[in-house]
Amino acid sequence: MSSITRSKSHVSALTSAINPLANPRGAKKQCELCQNHAHLQCTKCRVTFYCDTEHQQADWVGIHEKICQLLIPIRTATPFYSLQADRDHHCTQILHRQEELIEISRAVAQKKLFEGKYQESLPAAQLSLRCAMDVYGPSAVQLVPAYLLLAEANVGLGSLAQAEGYLSQAEWTVMKTPECSQTVRHQLHRNLGRLYTATENLEGALLHFANDVYYASEEYGLDNIVTCGGYFLMANVFIKQEKMDIASSLYTEVASTWHSHLTKLLETHTPGSMMLEHSFDEAQQAEADQMLRAMLKVQESNPKQAAAQNTLVAHSLAMLWFLGGSPDKALEFGRKALQSSQLVPDHSLTEHIQSLLQLAAERGPHLTIAS
């Protein structure tokens, strides 16, 4: 039985038909994804409903598996409390759970976007938006991150009109909120740049990416892993314009920033705490992997000319996966880094790469270092 078939079978086991007699008079259940009339419910939480098994499968894979139990207290009718203090305490608990739900759904959606899983990201992004509306109201600036996630997903799916709609809503919200943070502004311009790139308005894209870098550097600094995401996207536009020298320079900035960041993490790690949780989240790890792999692919077309750059990028990927607890991938990219470094006489990273390969081999005893 294939993994997809097993997944569908597992989800099917978690659904049951809605019993109309169990609903309050006049109450109609709506599908979690499309808001049409629902006929099925999740048998684990019993507070989430679907129009068909296809939408339940999409929601389970997209977000529901991670937040199923968290939804129960949020969507269950409020119990009767005779004391105001008890009512206030209950409301505070529900608010905290809603805020937690917003953060979880945002992180899941962002990770899937970095992995190129645009369709899978939609349920989490939609849930993030609905929860933010419940907590902050329909026109609050706190809704902007969810609009941007939905816009990015639709750009990836080629649904540019829908993406433009979400971005227009986000831009309008930011414009009427003078106190809006630099973080939100940089995220808005980054997504506008993506839309302009998709529509081949390359000069407009570069302008938005420049604003992205400006606002990100104001918040995080120029030599930061968040800011360098804008450099990476600008480089991709310059490649489209066949301005390879500029693109290569920006790639160097991105590679150097991530290499420096990962080197510091590796220098301070201890054998019992090699994971990335306290350094950056899964979405940032996915972003780093996506950017570094893309740069390596472009540069490997000319291995001798880009040997030093390839070494830097491959070594960064090796450190990323070693710290992420995947010694096999660390060995794979470490070997690429070592091979590239040998094309550059007296390369300064050769010794560091060999040390990392040794550490990775010790973490994965079934793997050996190629000579």
Confidence (pLDDT) at 167: 98
Confidence (pLDDT) at 77: 86
* Cα distance between residue 362 and residue 128, in whole Å: 41
Cα–chain center distance at 358: 31
Tell me the average pLDDT across 286-295: 93
* Cα distance between residue 351 and residue 355, in whole Å: 6
Lowest-pLDDT range, 12-16, 76-80, 134-138, 329-333? Answer: 12-16
Is 1's pLDDT higher than 50?
no
Which residue ranges form the domains of the chain, and what is each CATH number?
Answer: 10-68 (no CATH), 243-267+283-365 (1.25.40.10)
What value does the CA radius of gyration of the chain take, rounded to a whole number of Å?
24
Q: Which two tokens stand for residue 296?
A: 């390596």
Closest by CA to 55, choosing from 72, 39, 30, 32, is: 32
Q: Are 148 and 191 in contact (CB under 8 A)?
A: yes
* Cα distance between residue 180 and residue 177, in whole Å: 5
The per-residue pLDDT for range 110-160, each reduced to its tens digit, is 999 999 999 999 999 999 999 999 999 999 999 999 999 999 999 999 999
* Cα distance between residue 110 and residue 91, in whole Å: 29
Q: What is the mean pLDDT of the chain?
A: 88
Angle between helix axes 307-323 and 350-363 (nearest 10 degrees) is 30
Lowest-pLDDT range, 79-83, 281-285, 302-306? Answer: 302-306
Is 244's pLDDT higher than 80?
yes
Closest by CA to 345, choosing from 301, 315, 307, is: 307
User: How long is the chain?
Assistant: 371
Structure confidence at residue 165 as a pLDDT band (50, 70, 90):
very high
